[in-house]
Structure 1
Amino acid sequence: MTATESGFAAQAGTEQWPERLGPQAVRLFHGRGDCYPGFEFLTVDYFAPVLWVVLYKRAVPAVWESIKAQLRDTLKDHCEVAAVQHRYDRHAPLELLWGELPVSPIAREGQLAFQLTLGGRQNPGYFMDMRPARQWLAQRAQGKRILNLFAYTCAFSVAAMSAGASSVVNIDMSRSAMRQGRDNHRLNDLDGKEGTTFLGHDIFRSWGKLRRLGPYDVIICDPPSRQAGSFDAEKDYPRLVRRLSDMLAPQGSVLACLNAPYLGEAFLREVLAANAPDLEFVERLPARADFPDRDPDRALKVLHFQRCN
């Protein structure tokens, strides 16, 4: 289908977007899932009061101008701010369509709030598609000891501590991400709560410390797919998985996450089977409805495993 203004409006259902706007973070359009031919380069989110548009490749100028016109016609009376990130550019420059960005933008998820960084880096510090996984964790966090590997800005920790976890150990080699993680805890009135640990360390050099702080009832593994100097899923996931059983309590759970479109669910299941045979596959967590994907193997994969001995 040719990517025209009328084509975009028809595929995206833009006339219904105003009804979907509210205090909760929501994805209005998910082109990245290959369900909307011609618009795979585009996502549109709403973080009240900000409409957040991301371009993953440079669009044909006429197409982009028509999409911007459609956004203005449909949403300018409903959104205070509209901003575009040109993520295909390594500097990820920001373009304001209207309004001014708030000083401290946030994403709301249920009763929780997460700090956003809109502009200045590739992602905003919050991954909306992980909400089902955070809900899964919150439902079983009461009184549990959690290890949050590759914690980034600690959204899993916020969800767990808010749901009554006895402790969460967060570890990520990015100290700036750890600082934002602390800010997220403060934002949710959790900064004075005992039991939260923040480690700005290389995970692969910290196994001894992590074992001493354990064992853990739940281990979250949410690494980057491929990040220079940090993690490459094909090479590093097996050696990560080999360490899990030593730190996991009896009947403990592992939530293994992978967002590499070039590696399917079978890769993750095979890695666990070969390197942690005492962990049994339980289920794959469902994706958000507003993140449709034509091929589930290319989508975010979140798999629950449980220790069987």
Structure 2
Amino acid sequence: MSERISALIDRLSQVLPNIGENSCRLIHGRGKTLPGLEQICVDWHAPLLIVSLFEAIEEPEIEQLCVYLTTLQNNPLIQSVVVHHRYRREGAWQWLFGSEHAGFFAHRNGLRFGLEVGRQQNVGFFLDMEPGRQWLEQISAGKRVLNLFSYTCAFSVVALAAGAEKVVNVDMSSRALSRGRDNHRLNGQDTSNVVFLAENILKSWGRIRKQGPFDVIIIDPPSFQKGSFVAERDYAKVIRRIPELAGETCEILACLNAPELTEAYLPRLITETLPELKLQGRLAIHPDFPEQSPNHGLKLFHYQYSNTGKSES
């Protein structure tokens, strides 16, 4: 057996006994803290185990890995295992056992979020964003929340569960927003105070502004999405709009997932663009996602804005 597969099996044997109902990352090789496993990640979404390979490995290693993973069907908690070859365009999902047509969900403290497994590259729920969800959960009660680049609206579900007064989700993908509606329904949430706007954010400030003002603004854009958003070009455009969107006091979560941009990049950009924003701190990286470098992985910054010249409406 190769050293890499042996190391992976040893690591899995350590973490699998601790799996429970909540979704989590079991192995984060991409953080480069596990020698030999740099291109391997393993995620748990009960009862599904996803092993993600970010670069091709030798065929004998694939066979060794699959033989081991197949033995996991003896674990009563694990009903399905799939290997995701993320470097492939075709045939990226390799099911080892379990039904690929079953409905799978991410689980978070009693909340559920639908997953698309076997189709898209991303399953629809980002585990590394948990510090942001915890932050939002703590401040959402009675607040009006603007969720920019909302994707499948996980932030919205968490905010509503925490007692938010209103949530406005904005994303240019109608399909993602439809999945967001489904996530609210999955959790039995009343969506009468939830808004879903299928808009190109950079071209729709007037429509977004009409839904405000907001007490909490989440900015979670793709770092690079051809034709819609490029962080280095467009992030400042979003920051400049905060004064017209914010209530008297507004908490802001500014997110950036771009390893090529340093930890200092976003704070510097925000200071240059809107110095009135006051940095409250960077949220700690979730322990499931250890990183060798602070520049890699997800960067989450908490800011506060005081719009004292503007009355509530």
TM-score (norm 1): 0.94
Equivalent positions of 1:85-124 (< 5 A) are: 85-91=84-90, 93-101=92-100, 103-124=102-123
Shift, 1:102, TM fit? 5.2
Q: Is the 8 A contact 2:80 2:98 kept in 1?
A: yes
- 1:51-108 deviation line (CA, Å, top 9, x unaligned): 11111111122233333333334x3322111011211112462111122235211110
Aligned to 1:33: 31
Letter in 2 for 1:9: I
Q: Is the 8 A contact 1:25 1:107 kept in 2?
A: yes
Matched residues in 2 for 1:287 and 1:67: separation? 29
Letter in 1 for 2:268: E
Aligned to 1:6: 6
Residue 122 of structure 2 aligns to a residue whose secondary structure is coil
Letter in 2 for 1:60: E
Aligned to 1:168: 167
Residue 139 of structure 1 aligns to a residue whose secondary structure is helix
Letter in 2 for 1:250: E
Equivalent positions of 1:207-286 (< 5 A) are: 207-286=205-284
User: Paired residues, what number?
Assistant: 304
More moved, 57-66 vs 266-275 = 57-66
- 1:189-232 deviation line (CA, Å, top 9, x unaligned): 11x34210000110011101111111100100000111111211
**Cα distance change, pair 92–153 in 1 and its aligned pair in 2 (3 A):** farther
Q: Is the 8 A contact 1:92 1:119 kept in 2?
A: no
Aligned to 1:80: 79
- Are 1:139 and 2:134 matched, yes or no? no
Q: Is the 8 A contact 2:100 2:118 kept in 1?
A: no
More moved, 262-271 vs 166-175 = 262-271
Shift, 1:299, TM fit? 1.4
Residue 46 of structure 1 aligns to a residue whose secondary structure is strand
Residue 121 of structure 1 aligns to a residue whose secondary structure is coil
Matched residues in 1 for 2:215 and 2:282: separation? 19
More moved, 137-146 vs 77-86 = 77-86
Q: Is the 8 A contact 1:4 1:66 kept in 2?
A: no
Matched residues in 1 for 2:265 and 2:124: separation? 27
Q: Is the 8 A contact 2:277 2:305 kept in 1?
A: yes
- Alignment gaps of 5+ in structure 1: none
Q: Is the 8 A contact 1:92 1:121 kept in 2?
A: no
Letter in 1 for 2:212: G
**Cα distance change, pair 60–256 in 1 and its aligned pair in 2 (3 A):** same
Residue 249 of structure 1 aligns to a residue whose secondary structure is strand
**Cα distance change, pair 215–279 in 1 and its aligned pair in 2 (3 A):** same
Aligned to 2:14: 16
Aligned to 2:310: none
Letter in 2 for 1:149: L
Matched residues in 1 for 2:172 and 2:90: separation? 22
Aligned to 1:47: 45
Which residue of 38, 52, 57 maps to 2:55? 57
Letter in 1 for 2:74: D
Shift, 1:177, TM fit? 0.1
**Cα distance change, pair 102–26 in 1 and its aligned pair in 2 (3 A):** farther
Matched residues in 1 for 2:50 and 2:8: separation? 17
- Are 1:159 and 2:158 matched, yes or no? yes
Give the share of equivalent positions with the same residue, in percent.
43
**Cα distance change, pair 243–3 in 1 and its aligned pair in 2 (3 A):** farther
Moved over 6 A (4+): none
- Alignment gaps of 5+ in structure 2: 308-313
Matched residues in 1 for 2:42 and 2:198: separation? 32
Q: Please give the root-mean-square deviation of Cα atoms over the aligned residues, in Å.
A: 1.5
Matched residues in 2 for 1:92 and 1:163: separation? 40
Letter in 2 for 1:147: L
Q: Is the 8 A contact 1:3 1:63 kept in 2?
A: no
